[in-house]
Structure formats: structure tokens, C-alpha cells
């Protein structure tokens, strides 16, 4: 669906055998609603809700319900949206506000902002994190309104005190990306530099720190500082070379994928393909099929999302690794 292939996505969704099929149907309905194809939306929402009712854990049920509620919000059915999310788990509470923020209007801003502030006041980690993510959406939505944008940014910075540093960095990176979308390079760089300062001020295990370095470097390139961005990507790659022996094998591919993505962003296609090749080799260090399958899937999805075409050697290796996975992988 991210690549605008909804019918292909639907074909895969229908083959899913567990609760994720319900989430897939809700995602499909969300995509169709966003893009104006509403004929089959109700059908797939009903399928999603049926599956949610037999989910074996509350958080799985609630994840489906939140997505259904998001579709209802897009359709203007606030009553059903509120009913579906009334008693959901804290880890899912607040996610609906992100959809509302994306479609907030001038007349509804005050109501929406107050709703988010009430969620922040709960001081529950998951709820606050989801609410602040909604604030980033409002920051983007009302970027041209300097007063509202400043109010939202102030709220984010004053409310993240109990959140881990990596969440704060994600919020700053999200605001920087919004500034770029609105062609405000100066603000984008300011927010990026704040995120970089947070990163530099914390201690990181290599499997956690290297992906953050890579993502900030990619954002740096988009902020119009290509030379510094390339140097930061190279530094992250060098750190991986020095520290990879300390990284547990199930985390190595996840550490390398953001590096490959960063090379693609800085227009180093050879570096990107090399990074993905290393990720594939890292994936097969674990002798178990499930983590190999998960890593291989993540690698292929990353290449698809970032428009990276594997060379012949990488294609052959991907197929070789896939062929060796065995059933049911």
C-alpha cells in the first residue's frame, strides 16, 4: 500500500492466518478511504471488526480497533470512532489522535489540541508518546500558522521529560521533516541539531546508536548539508565495523538496514547495495529460520521502500538464502 499497490496488498492480506489479517483489512480500508475509493470500505471494516472480536490478546484486538476507528474518523463517523476506542489498552490509546491531527481544520484546532493535552496529562508512557506524535502531526498541519506551530512545539518540549532520549529524537526528527516539507531549511536544521545534541549527550549500545546516527545523517542530507551528511554516514559505518562483534546476531541486520537506507538518501547507490549485501550476510549468522526470514523480509521491504534495485549478485544471494529457509518460511 505504501507503494500504491492496494490490490496486491489485499491478495497478501487474505492469505494471513492470524489476527494480523484483521489489521490488514483495516489498513486496506484506511488506504481506500484516503484515496477516495470507498465502495468496499464498509465490507473490509466489518471483516476487520469480526477478527478483532476473536483476537486472543487485548492489545491485538485494540490495535485493529484503533485502525478501524481511524477510518471512521476519516469518514466523519465520530460516534463509532469513540465507541471503538472507549476501553482500549493504554499502548493504543491516543493513536486515533494522530489521524485527527492529520485532518484537523482551523475551526477544530482548539478542540483537538485540548484533547491531546488531556492525554499528555495522564503521564502514562504509551499515551503520552502517542499524544506527542499527534502533536508532531499538528506541527506539520499548521506549520504556516507561526503562533499555533510554536505552541505545539513548546508543548512537545515541555512534555517529553519522562520519555527516553530516542523518543525525543524521533519527535525532533519528525518536526524537522515537517519543516522540510514546508521548505523551511533553517528551522529543519535547528531541530536536527537539537536531535543530534540529544544523541551526543547519551550513551548508546551500538545496535541502538548506529541506526539513529544513520537516520539523522540522512535527514542532514535532506537539510542541504551533503558533505556533513556523508561524513556522518561514514562515521556510523566505521562504528559498525569496530563494534559489530559486540552486537548479538539477531540485531545485526536491523543495525545495517538504516545504514544502507542512509547511503541511498545521500545518492551513494553502490554504498546502499553494499550495505544491503552485508545485512543479508548478517541475517544468516543466526542458525534459526525464523529470524533469518524476518531479517530477509525487512531487507527486501527496505529496498522496495527506498527504490534500491539489487545487482545480480544480491538477487542471487537473496534467492539462495530464501531457498534455504525451509518450511513454513
Q: Quote the pTM value.
A: 0.93
What pLDDT shows up at residue 315?
Answer: 97
Q: According to the 3-state scheme, what is the secondary structure of 75-116?
A: CCCHHHHHHHCCCCCCCCCCHHHHHHHHCCCHHHHHHHHHHH
Give residue limits of the domains in the chain. Answer: 1-86, 93-201, 204-329
The count of C-alpha atoms lying within 13 angstroms of the C-alpha of 181, restricted to the half-sphere facing its C-beta, is: 14
Say which DSSP state 311 is in.
-
> Can you read off the three cell numbers belonging to residue 154?
513548546
For residue 192, give the C-alpha cell.
536536527
Under CATH, to which class is 204-329 assigned? mainly alpha
The pLDDT tens digits of the residues spanning 243-283 come to 999 999 999 999 999 999 999 999 999 999 999 999 999 99
d(C-alpha 203, C-alpha 220), whole Å: 21
**pLDDT for res 120:** 95
| Predicted local confidence at residue 117, as pLDDT | 96
- Scanning the structure block, which residue is given the C-alpha cell 524476518? 294
Q: Which residues does the chain have with pLDDT short of 50?
A: none
Q: Which pLDDT does position 90 carry in this prediction?
A: 82
What pLDDT is stored for residue 225 in this prediction?
98
User: What span, in angstroms and rounded, lies between the C-alpha atoms of 130 and 186?
Assistant: 27
Amino acid at each position: 500500500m505504501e507503494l500504491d499497490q492496494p490490490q496486491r496488498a489485499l491478495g497478501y492480506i487474505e492469505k494471513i492466518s492470524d489476527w494480523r489479517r484483521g489489521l490488514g483489512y483495516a489498513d486496506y480500508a484506511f488506504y481506500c478511504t484516503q484515496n477516495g475509493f470507498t465502495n468496499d470500505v464498509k465490507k473490509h471494516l466489518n471483516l476487520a471488526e469480526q477478527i478483532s472480536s476473536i483476537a486472543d490478546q487485548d492489545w491485538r484486538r485494540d490495535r485493529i480497533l484503533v485502525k478501524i476507528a481511524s477510518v471512521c474518523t476519516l469518514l466523519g463517523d465520530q460516534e463509532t470512532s469513540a465507541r471503538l476506542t472507549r476501553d482500549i489498552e493504554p499502548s493504543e490509546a491516543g493513536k486515533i489522535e494522530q489521524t485527527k491531527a492529520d485532518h484537523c481544520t482551523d475551526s477544530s484546532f482548539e478542540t483537538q489540541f485540548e484533547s491531546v493535552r488531556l492525554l499528555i496529562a495522564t503521564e502514562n508512557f504509551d499515551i503520552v508518546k502517542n499524544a506527542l506524535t499527534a502533536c508532531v502531526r499538528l506541527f506539520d498541519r499548521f506549520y504556516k500558522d507561526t503562533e499555533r506551530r510554536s505552541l505545539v512545539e513548546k508543548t512537545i518540549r515541555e512534555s517529553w521529560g519522562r520519555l527516553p532520549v530516542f523518543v525525543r529524537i524521533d519527535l525532533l526528527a519528525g518536526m524537522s521533516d515537517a519543516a522540510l516539507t514546508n521548505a523551511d531549511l533553517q528551522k529543519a536544521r535547528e531541530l536536527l541539531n537539537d536531535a543530534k545534541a540529544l544523541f551526543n549527550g547519551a550513551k548508546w549500545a551500538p545496535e541502538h546508536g548506529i541506526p539513529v546516527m544513520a537516520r539523522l545523517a540522512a535527514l542532514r542530507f535532506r537539510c542541504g548539508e551533503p558533505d556533513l551528511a556523508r561524513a556522518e554516514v561514514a562515521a556510523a559505518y566505521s562504528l559498525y565495523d569496530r563494534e559489530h562483534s559486540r552486537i548479538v546476531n539477531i540485531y545485526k541486520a536491523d543495525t545495517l538496514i538504516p545504514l544502507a537506507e542512509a547511503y541511498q538518501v545521500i545518492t551513494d547507490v553502490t554504498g546502499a547495495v553494499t550495505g544491503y549485501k552485508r545485512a543479508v550476510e548478517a541475517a544468516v549468522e543466526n542458525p534459526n529460520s525464523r529470524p533469518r526470514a524476518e531479517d530477509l523480509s525487512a531487507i527486501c521491504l527496505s529496498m522496495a521502500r527506498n527504490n534500491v534495485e539489487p545487482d545480480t549478485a544480491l538477487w542471487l544471494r537473496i534467492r539462495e538464502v530464501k531457498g534455504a529457509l525451509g518450511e513454513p518460511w
